[in-house]
Amino acid sequence: MSPFQEELLTKLGFRFGLNGPHAARTMMLEDLQALFAHVPAGAPRAEYANQIVALNVLGKPTKKARELALRHLTLLYSLDPMFPLFRALRRLWDVDHSAQPLLALLASLARDPLLKRTQEFILSRPVGAVVARIDWEARLAADHQDRFSPASLKSFAQNVAGTWTAAGFLSGRVRKSRSNPEVSPVALVFALFLGHLEGLSGQRLFASDWINLLPGSPGELEALANSASHRGLLVFLNGGGVKEVRFPEYLTQEEEQIRLEGSHVI
């Protein structure tokens, strides 16, 4: 991806670079669920900060812990409705509670470069295969040579494994093995929307890294898209081998222009 496209996608809510919150935290699913339960979907960014720091809805023991929670949640999700990526997350969040772990994972992958670099590794492991912490450490060390101390690498590996476990791609407490989560129409919509923001359309949307993350055959994923379309979560048309996916009212005109501009450099 070119620096120009990264710049455009940053305006839509993506993050790029070398650093990410998974060096210190997981995707913080339980905190995110608690926060969204207290803050209305249309609330401004300042209200998220108020709920976390001033009102302590996450139950953190100190002000410093509350400020760190706000910092990491902001890095992971932006907590800012000016970004369409976050607005879509909030729009879909309460539609299906079972989809929330995958929604949080997809948003985290779009905003944490450290986590994103582990996607290929987890998908390369067959279902049922044991994935030990040492496997994560070896993979992360290879991707980030001389960047992390042994203690930091261990923490990083635990955080990444914790996120993939919370999202359903790993199961087990101590001995973790590869598994597949259940995919709902809501999770599929968000995965398609992320590809849409990247400028993809039609069949290319169903071949993106976001869709490749989701288990299921092409036919099963198309059935989920049909279900989502019937529920008004998107518009999905499929006929004669041609697919069309639209997201009415998800983007402003300015945001749509940014998306189209980025599509020309793919």
Task: Give the per-residue pLDDT at 7.
Answer: 95
The rounded distance, in Å, linking the Cα atoms of 114 and 101 is: 18
Q: What structural domains does the chain harbor?
A: 15-95 (no CATH), 115-178 (no CATH), 185-263 (1.10.10)
**Whole-number percent of the chain with pLDDT over 70:** 99
Predicted TM-score (pTM) of this structure: 0.96
Which of 192 and 142 is assigned the larger pLDDT?
Answer: 192
pLDDT at 246: 97
| Residue 263 or 221, more confident | 221
- One DSSP character per residue, 108-142 reads HHHH-HHHHTTHHHHHHSPTT-B--HHHHHHHHHH
| pLDDT for 150 | 85
Task: Check whether 265 has a pLDDT greater than 70.
Answer: no
User: Amino acid identity of 24?
Assistant: A
Q: How far is CA 161 from CA 14, 24, 78, 85, 213, in A?
A: 22, 13, 22, 24, 16
pLDDT of residue 129: 97
Burial 76-86 (b: 16+ CB within 10 A, else e): bbbbebebbbb
* Residue 226: how many other CB atoms lie within 10 Å: 14
Give pLDDT, residue 163.
97
Helix axes 100-111, 185-197, angle to 10 degrees: 20
Mean pLDDT of 63-84: 98
Q: Using one digit for the tens of pLDDT, what is the confidence trace for 118-151?
A: 999 999 999 999 999 888 888 888 877 777 788 8
Helix (H) or strand (E) holding 64: helix 63-77
Kindly state the percentage of the chain with pLDDT values over 90.
84
Which letter, b or e, does each residue of 160-190 get, where b requires 16 or more Cβ atoms within 10 Å of its Cβ?
Answer: bbbbbbbbbbbbeeeebebbebebbbbbbbb
What does pLDDT average to over the chain? Answer: 94
Bridge partners (DSSP) of residue 239 are 242
pLDDT at 151: 87
Q: How would DSSP label each residue in 177-218? A: EE------HHHHHHHHHHHHHTT--GGGGGGSHHHHTS-S-H
Which tokens go with 138?
């070896």
Q: Which residues contact 128 (CB under 8 A, 6 or more apart)?
A: 177, 178, 179
Q: Angle at which helices 150-166 and 133-143 pack, to 10 degrees?
A: 110
3-state secondary structure of 222: helix
Region of poorest pLDDT, from 139-143, 220-224, 248-252? 139-143
**3-class DSSP assignment, residue 53:** helix
